[in-house]
Chains A and B, each alone.
Chain A
Amino acid sequence: MPTNANRQFLDFEKPIKDLIEEIEHAKHRQEKTKIDMSDVIQRLDQSILDKRKEITRSLSSWQRVQLSRHPDRPYTLKYIEKMTTNFVELYGDRNVKDDKAMVGGFASLDGETVMIIGQQKGINTKMRQLRNFGMANPEGYRKALRLMRLAEKFNKPVITLIDTPGAFPGLEAEERGQGEAIARNIYEMVRLKVPVICVIIGEGASGGALGIGVGDKVFMMENTWYTVISPESCSSILWRSWDKKEVAAEQLRLTADKMLGFGLIDGIIPEPTGGAHWDYNESARILKDYLVPVIKELKLTAPEQRTNNRIEKFGKMGFWEEV
């Protein structure tokens, strides 16, 4: 977790940055002058908390998108580290290679074995390249499917953590069937005989997200987005300009509250005040507390009933009129 000294700030988080700097000054002064500044520091700490609260109270859709991409935001492996024990990472699609943008493996969650799969972004420039910015290739989706089948064979629930700006639009990706890989995953996830829970923990962009996103329950964390296209691409296609991303984000209704209102997701998982990047332990704890009872509940349903419910749930989605 970043310390106050190396935190990164979004434009609308700047007031917090200033407060943190003030604290540092106060501490510095205290050390130098030996005057007790703890009152001031305490007051400033409270101001930071108030500011975090205030900022998240009135976020625009675009700001949520920015938060979902916050450079300090926890990624899949961080949640796995904080939520589970005995994690055994499994690699490769048994076909082409191991896709570093998609990770997964068995882990113990609250004493029970689960299969956790998710896109992984890098934490620094070098890692971001290695992880391909969380954009999986076909082999990533096939690796995910392999792990899901493994879970099914041993009757373990599947949890997917979604965080991707999209499936990778590359030349080799097309050669190896990016469309087919995502299509196959969606098709197989619909029929998976074990409980499947999907959580958007950051960005949920289009087919790249849905490729590991068909579940009995689909949740979004508070500061995430999920829709058919990134606001930037939507702006460039529909507005013919890259400058309308804020409007596009608004029009796409891509935030968790809107998605819940539409009945396209099953719930919103809160984040620590100000966003998940402020406290990894707390974020992971909240997520874990959410997941454990849901798994228990889903297990009560017979596998066939569960897949039928899944088909029915997605079957209801859409709006049209009959004339």
Chain B
Amino acid sequence: MAKQFEDFDANLAGEEGKTEETKTSWFKRIKKGINTKTSEKKETPEGLWAKCPECNYICTVTELREHLFVCPKCSYHHRISSQEYFELLYDNGQFTELFDNIRSKDFLEFTDLKPYKKRLEDIWSKTDLKDSMRVATGTIYGHGIVIACMDFEFIGGSLGSVMGEKFSRAVDYCIAHKQAYMVISKSGGARMMESAFSLMQLAKTSGKLSQLSDAKLPYISLLTDPTFGGISASFGMLGDLNIAEPGALIGFAGPRVIKETIKKDLPEGFQRSEFILEHGFLDFIVPRKGLKDKLGVVLGHFKS
């Protein structure tokens, strides 16, 4: 039973067990590192080893952290949290978190194998996260920007009412303070436990984006591994720029569902960032190490 719950998030993304939770024992260790409350995070103990799922390269978590959680050998991009993105991108790692008082409510009293309410309480007790998206404001090379970033560990980064509301308030904030907007996606899609309410967030967020567009403020959508379902069918694909990290799985339907539907094996590299770029849906792919610099240049272009 415990195992069942463990790869819950993996299945939200419709993946075939190739996620942190299911891949190897290595992941359990890294997960522990990332799951550590953000306030205590800096003190990751030395000597914790990490193994790359792509090339099996083994290094310490500290070394991995220095490389921004990108494998030093094969450049595999590990999933990281909102905290790490904020620290990486904002000047001097300085930012102000916004709307962090909003959290999910089990309005429908939805119960699958576990009540939604219990699911929420479990995550709240395990992490500092209130929901699957955090919003912050700060500067990147001096350009004011609001970043809304998803956390995969919170029910698979799923899109529910809270994400929709935070997204909306973030847009309002951008308009009020004339700041650019960036969303970092990492999600299995809509949150089923909020049923049609989660679906309607697609329309809600699109409406807000149209207001942002009228205000002539840039919107950058950064897609990271994985981005599926309701995210790619709404704001994920609606950026003035749609960009992605290398090798990220991005798509509407999950690979498992597609495979079951067409009853054929999927081609190598299917739904990876490079595939999405080749088919014309990304502006560019940017490695995590070059992300901040590239954003700085781009934000400059939007301004001048």
Contact = CB atoms under 8 A, between A and B. Distances in A.
Contacts of A57: none
Nearest to B242: A180
B232 to A, nearest CB: 3
Contacts of A254: 195-196
Nearest to A214: B203
Interface stretch (B46-54, B89-97, B110-118): B110-118
A219 to B, nearest CB: 14
Contacts, number: 194
A228 B195 contact: yes
Nearest to A319: B107
A317 B252 contact: no
A234 B190 CA distance: 11
A173 B270 CA distance: 12
Interface stretch (B16-24, B174-182, B205-213): B205-213
B261 interface: yes
A320 B237 CA distance: 25
Given A183-B232, A237-B11, A229 B192 contact: yes
Interface in B188-231: 190-204, 206-211, 229-230
Interface string B228-243: 0110111111100000
Interface string A199-235: 0000000110011011000000000001111000110
B211 A311 contact: yes
A35 interface: no
A111 interface: no
Contacts of B209: 187
Which of B12, B201, B232 has the most CB atoms of chain A within a 10 A radius of its CB?
A: B232
Interface in A239-264: 239-240, 248, 251-254, 259, 262, 264
Contact of B168 (A233, A239, A315, A322): A315
Contacts of A248: 112
B125 interface: no
Given A183-B238, A239-B112, A207 B202 contact: yes
A300 interface: no
A15 interface: no
Interface residues of A, number: 55
A317 B201 contact: yes
A297 B112 CA distance: 42
A183 B237 contact: yes
B195 A227 contact: yes
A170 B262 contact: yes
A211 to B, nearest CB: 7
B123 to A, nearest CB: 15
A247 B120 CA distance: 21
A167 B251 CA distance: 13
A174 B256 CA distance: 13
B101 interface: yes
Nearest to B267: A171
A179 B282 CA distance: 12
B103 A183 contact: no
A11 interface: no
B203 A207 contact: no
A178 B229 CA distance: 10
B191 to A, nearest CB: 8
Contacts of B238: 183-184, 187
A51 interface: no
B42 interface: no
A310 B207 contact: yes
Contacts of B12: 237
B291 interface: no
Interface of B: 4, 11-12, 101-105, 107-108, 110-113, 130, 160-162, 164-165, 168, 190-204, 206-211, 229-230, 232-238, 251-253, 257-258, 261-262, 264, 266-267, 270-271, 279-281
23 contacts: A169-B258, A170-B261, A171-B258, A174-B251, A174-B253, A174-B258, A178-B251, A183-B238, A186-B233, A207-B229, A210-B199, A213-B203, A228-B191, A229-B192, A237-B12, A251-B111, A253-B196, A264-B196, A317-B164, A317-B201, A318-B160, A318-B201, A320-B165
For the complex of A and B, the 10 pairs showing the least CB-CB separation, nearest first, are A179-B232, A318-B161, A169-B253, A311-B207, A238-B112, A179-B252, A319-B107, A178-B252, A207-B233, A228-B199
Given A174-B270, A174-B271, 17 more contacts: A170-B253, A171-B262, A173-B253, A174-B251, A178-B251, A179-B251, A180-B232, A183-B206, A191-B210, A207-B230, A207-B234, A228-B198, A317-B200, A317-B201, A317-B203, A318-B197, A323-B102
